[in-house]
Amino acid sequence: MIEFPDYQNCLVNLSSSILQEFGVNCAHSGLQILDQTFSARRYQNVVLFVIDGMGVKALQDHLPPAAFLNQQMAQTISSVFPPTTTAATTSLLSGKTPAEHGWLGWDLFFPELQQIVVPFLNTVKDSTVPASVSNAAGTFLPYTDILTQIQRTSTAEAYLLSQFANPPIRTLDEILEKIAILTGHGGRKFIYAYWNEPDATMHTEGCRTPAVRDILLDLNQRIEKLSMKLNDTLLILTADHGHINITNRVIADYPELAKMLAMPTSIEPRAVSFHLKREFREQFPAVFNQYFGEDFLLFSHDEVFEKQLFGTGKVNLHTRGSLGDFLAAAVKDTALVYSDRSRQFKSHHAGLTTDEMRVPLILAALE
């Protein structure tokens, strides 16, 4: 089923509720149910735990209705577009929409560098070659994270727990232990935790496999056990996106299409940005739709912003500059990669389907 992002009921609104609870002014409204929860009680500890790839469909497919994570689900909410880790976790960490922060996907064209760069790795697309700037995303797409915003404007402390923190926390056991320790100390705290499973396994194994079920059953058990150790804590669990099993198709296998491109495609295989040679801009839509019209919705550069696909708010100039002439958003199970060198997964995300877009809002109020 096709589903567009709901920027009144999404991950950005989740972060806004948390920011407002800690006294930070926000450009976006909060989630009503979370605002009501905060109004009813002031918790000493607020923990936001982001579990990569754990969309609503995954919980429905792999956990029984009586499982802790299903029982504590307050409602479902929308990811952002594209529903992918780069865009979604940056929205959570910044309180901004992708239109505002500009971190659109795994591969991003930087007009300042005339390079397509992987923001998280700072490498050139489909290679290990470093980008020409030591930190391209940090240089051209900076933002102030919500932890810093909270620390600057309130008396609370804020902590980041993930494999990508400094220092990194590399195992789930370490993350859960650290949450238990931090919430046991005095003083008000906000904790942002991130774990990369089941997403990593879904990519390589598929999203409806026994391996994924085992991961989710284990997560459910461990998080329920953690909840029994916490006091005066609101534990909020969500995901950055869901998943869908896919079929990969390679642009290089379609010479009539490939010859129109001025550079490799970017953003994501299910949210594909096309920079075209000038002479092919008018005929591109017809050729693309001939091959992929049933699998993707094709938007012109201007239509993307008119329809606010990347969200509301002031559009980052880099966001406009990085987007190509057209954007193709997947609505079925096809992923479109640039070449045989591109990453090809069994399951992916970033498209406009309910399975990718719909994520849980799990609230455990621990007295």
Same domain (yes/no): 238, 148: yes
Same domain, 214 and 236: yes
Which stretch of 136-140, 280-284, 305-309, 341-345 has the lowest confidence by average pLDDT?
A: 341-345
Q: Which residues lie below 8 Å from residue 17, measured CB to CB, with a gap of 6+?
A: 30, 31, 34, 35, 38
The answer on 224 and 323 residing in a single domain is no
Identify the pLDDT of residue 308. 98
Q: Is residue 79 part of a domain?
A: yes
d(CA 184, CA 158): 14
What's the whole-number average pLDDT of the chain? 96
Q: How far is CA 183 from the centre of its chain?
A: 26
Determine the pLDDT at residue 166.
84
The count of structural domains within the chain is 2
> Which whole number is the average pLDDT over 231-260?
97
Q: Is the pLDDT of residue 342 over 90?
A: no
Same domain, 73 and 92: yes
Over residues 233-256, the mean pLDDT reads 97
CB-based contacts of 177, cutoff 8 Å, min separation 6: none
Instruction: Look at residue 64 and tell me if it is in a domain.
Output: yes
pTM: 0.97
Q: pLDDT digit string (tens) for 84-116?
A: 999 999 999 999 999 999 999 999 999 999 999
**Same domain for 211 and 273?**
no
Same domain, 147 and 20: yes
pLDDT digits (tens, 9 = 90+) for 157-183: 999 999 988 889 989 999 999 999 999
Q: Check which CATH number belongs to the domain holding 329 and give it.
A: 3.30.1360.180
One domain for residues 308 and 211: no
Residue 180 within a domain: yes
Taking 90 as the threshold, does the pLDDT of residue 256 lie above it?
A: yes
d(CA 7, CA 121): 28
Q: How many CA atoms lie within 13 A of 78 on its CB side?
A: 21
Strand-pair category, 45-51 with 233-238: parallel
Task: Examine residue 136 and state whether it is found in any structural domain, yes or no.
Answer: no
Confidence check: pLDDT of 67 > 90:
yes
Percent of the chain with pLDDT over 90: 93
Task: List pLDDT tens digits, range 227-241.
Answer: 999 999 999 999 999
Distance, CA of 254 to CA of 99 (rounded, Å): 31
Do 178 and 258 belong to one domain? no
Q: What is the pLDDT of residue 167?
A: 86
Whether residue 120 lies inside any domain: the answer is no
Query: Within this chain, do residues 187 and 240 fall inside the same structural domain, yes or no?
Result: yes
216 and 266 inside one domain:
no
Q: Is the pLDDT of residue 80 over 90?
A: yes
Asked if the model's pLDDT at residue 155 lies above 90, the reply is no
Residue 5 falls inside a structural domain: no
108 belongs to a structural domain: no
On the question of pLDDT at 154 being above 90, the answer is no
81 occurs within a structural domain: yes
The DSSP bridge partners found for residue 227 are none
Question: For the domain that residue 51 is a member of, what is the CATH number?
Answer: 3.40.720.10
Q: Do both 339 and 259 map to the same domain? A: yes
Which pLDDT belongs to residue 141?
96
Q: Which of 88, 64, 74 is nearest to 5 (CA)?
A: 88
Taking residues 25-32, what's their average pLDDT? 96
Q: For residue 44, what are the domain limits?
A: 11-101+141-244+354-366
Same structural domain, 304 and 232: no
Question: What is the pLDDT confidence band of residue 7, given thresholds at 50, 70 and 90?
Answer: very high
